[in-house]
Structure 1
Amino acid sequence: MSIIKTNAMNNFANADITDDIFFCRIMSEKQYALPLLQRIFPQLNIRSIEQPISQFTIKNNRKEHGVRFDVFSEAEQKYFDIEMQTTHDPTLGKRIRYYQGKMDSTFLKAGESYDLLPPTYIVFICTFDPFAEGAYKYEFSHIYDQTNHVTLKTGTHVILLNAHGTNPGSINGGLLNFLKLVAGEKATRYDPYLKQIQDKIAELKDNMQWRMSYMQEYNAIAVQERAEGIEQGIAQGRAEGLKQGKAEGLKQGRENSIALFIKNMLAQGSNKEEMLKTLMIGFQLSAEEANSYLHANQSIK
């Protein structure tokens, strides 16, 4: 059994709401996503939402850096992206900036007024305190630095939730209970919504078809998270390609990245079917292209 499969099985068995795949699957249902938005944004009085889309991807072409939103939904002409964040990321601020730009790029057609840009809300649910200030809820807006009372009305809203806050009186009880669930702690009081989430997790774990879907998704994510190996190949390819020009260098980097990836997968005991799927997803290759790379780098029976 490959390392990836072993890790996937362990993660599946121990998964809770902080597991990204489970979180996206559960929040793709209105009955779970709507109450969460209502708890995060009680001031908006959200009564209904459009069908949430999990792993919503925006990528216009192969050359640009795409984005994949965990859970994306619309409610009364407002747009929401909800992310589960379990690791410290020093680039989180710039990541949010890029997410915002990508989201905005889908709203306007040529010639349309900027006034048509709808309100957007980007939410990161963190299993850690991103700023070490003890707040459960960090909200950001564009405010004039000198006076702190002049706001630039961009219609954008960024919220970072901290599951380990120290000021429970600053947020509503429903949101506090949900963050307690994220933190793996007991809620302050019985909450039917939390019970529904926990029951759904148990139901999914008993579903063999969902288990297979989880394994496939975990495998795809593992490919994309092989940052070190891919970056190593790109760096090597760029260095070799400098003599041939930038375009050749980038091409060489991609070739080396794929070759290094195949080498790593072979070392982990992956079979041909696994490798084909992950090559196609991770490098956006056709089945024919993926097969060609496999044959060029290693003969697999």
Structure 2
Amino acid sequence: MTSRITISNNFMFGRVLCREDICRGFLERVLGTEVGSISYLNREQVLQPAAASRGVRLDVYAETALGVIDVEMQANPHADLGRRLRYYQASIDSGLLDQGSSWRDLRDSYIIFACDFDWPGAGLPVYTFDRLCRENPALAAQTGSTWVVLNARAAAAAPNEGLRNLLEYIQRGSVAPDDKLVSAMDAAVSTANEDREWVASVMTVRDLLEEARADAIAEGLAEGRAEGIAEGREEGLAEGRAEGRAEGRAEGRAEGRAEGVARMAALAAKLAEDGRAEDVLSVMADPVAVENLLREYRL
């Protein structure tokens, strides 16, 4: 029997939050204010600031009376989350002003990362980041942009019952019986799990990514040990790959099936990191698209 896909899966998260009533309830509970009307709501919104730049795919993108809002599900820890927030902000802002527009026309924006881990490590359930003056933290740059990072692991410390229920649902899938928002989210998750074709496609991507990560880790560790540079999983992978590529070019290693699999594994892992896992399936039958992505990620 196929396992149930939960809300912490980014594909499921995007599907569920693209219901306007659920999206509004989620945003208002997290931000603690009314968001007003939602004029545009889309999942897997693709942004690419320039033709040769690295693109991003947003889990949920909403244009509201409060401002533009991006919501991302982050189930796996990433040390570079701060830089990811920065790049997402730049990508969003680049599309908000037409040529000749005034800076005053730049809409307020919010980026929300719903994490099943404590990225800052301070044990708080919610972290809200603004641009503050280092010399006088009472002074804000008033950029109109706000970053919110949720830590589902600290649900018990949430400042109110509604947020606690939401974080507990993200972290454990537990549904508070009298919570209409969480109950609606769980009902939408159940409905999505009944769509077997969609579930199969999500599982295929998940299995491919897990295999890609395992292959990449194994390759990195093996080559890292061979070169005497394996100092842990991450360093072994990064340096082992670098040494392997250099050695392969020097010795003229054949670029056969094994190398092709390794490149696709690396590509799948990169796409997953950028929230673009669905691209793995969509480009498999398109060699040109595959080559374009390999060049984009310099693989």
Instruction: State TM-score, norm by structure 1.
Output: 0.70
Residue of structure 2 equivalent to 1:22: 12
Q: 1:224 to 1:113 in 2, by over 3 A?
A: farther
Residue of structure 2 equivalent to 1:142: 131
Q: Comparing 23-32 with 220-229, which one deviates more in the overlay?
A: 220-229
RMSD: 3.9
- Asked whether the 8 Å contact 1:55–1:69 carries over to 2, the reply is yes
Amino acid at match of 1:193: L
2: distance between equivalents of 1:227 and 1:115?
47
- Asked whether the 8 Å contact 1:163–1:179 carries over to 2, the reply is yes
- Deviation, structure 1 residue 90: 1.0
2: distance between equivalents of 1:223 and 1:63?
29
Residue of structure 1 equivalent to 2:55: 66
2: distance between equivalents of 1:58 and 1:258?
33
**Partner of residue 196 from structure 2, selected from 202, 208, 216:** 208
Residue of structure 1 equivalent to 2:159: 171
2: distance between equivalents of 1:257 and 1:26?
42
Query: How many residue pairs get matched?
Result: 256
Amino acid at match of 1:17: I
- Deviation, structure 1 residue 112: 1.8
Unaligned runs of 5+ in 2: 220-236, 266-278, 293-299
* SS of match in other structure, 2:39: coil
Q: Does 1:38 align with 2:28?
A: yes
Q: Comparing 146-155 with 280-289, which one deviates more in the overlay?
A: 280-289
Q: 1:234 to 1:122 in 2, by over 3 A?
A: farther
1: distance between equivalents of 2:49 and 2:174?
43
* SS of match in other structure, 1:203: helix
* SS of match in other structure, 1:109: coil
Q: 1:98 to 1:264 in 2, by over 3 A?
A: closer
- Deviation, structure 1 residue 76: 0.9
- Deviation, structure 1 residue 27: 1.0
Q: 1:234 to 1:103 in 2, by over 3 A?
A: farther
Q: Does 1:133 align with 2:122?
A: yes
Q: 1:24 to 1:87 in 2, by over 3 A?
A: same
Q: Does 1:182 align with 2:184?
A: no
- Asked whether the 8 Å contact 2:176–2:182 carries over to 1, the reply is no
1: distance between equivalents of 2:216 and 2:178?
42
- Asked whether the 8 Å contact 1:67–1:99 carries over to 2, the reply is yes
* SS of match in other structure, 1:26: helix
Residue of structure 2 equivalent to 1:194: 182
* SS of match in other structure, 1:95: helix
CA offsets 1:263-295 (integer angstroms, 9 cap, x no match): 6779xxxxxxxxxx84863798547989xxxxx
Unaligned runs of 5+ in 1: 1-8, 242-255, 267-276, 291-301
CA offsets 1:124-178 (integer angstroms, 9 cap, x no match): 011011122121110011111122111101111001011122663x533222210
Instruction: State TM-score, norm by structure 2.
Output: 0.71
- Asked whether the 8 Å contact 1:57–1:66 carries over to 2, the reply is yes
2: distance between equivalents of 1:116 and 1:42?
24
- Asked whether the 8 Å contact 1:39–1:175 carries over to 2, the reply is yes
Residue of structure 2 equivalent to 1:151: 140
- Asked whether the 8 Å contact 2:132–2:141 carries over to 1, the reply is yes
Amino acid at match of 1:236: R
* SS of match in other structure, 1:34: helix
Residue of structure 1 equivalent to 2:88: 99
- Asked whether the 8 Å contact 1:29–1:51 carries over to 2, the reply is no
1: distance between equivalents of 2:91 and 2:211?
23
Amino acid at match of 2:245: Q
- Deviation, structure 1 residue 58: 1.1
Amino acid at match of 1:184: R
- Deviation, structure 1 residue 262: 4.0
Q: 1:201 to 1:280 in 2, by over 3 A?
A: closer
Amino acid at match of 2:283: I
Residue of structure 1 equivalent to 2:260: 261
Residue of structure 1 equivalent to 2:283: 281
Q: 1:265 to 1:144 in 2, by over 3 A?
A: closer
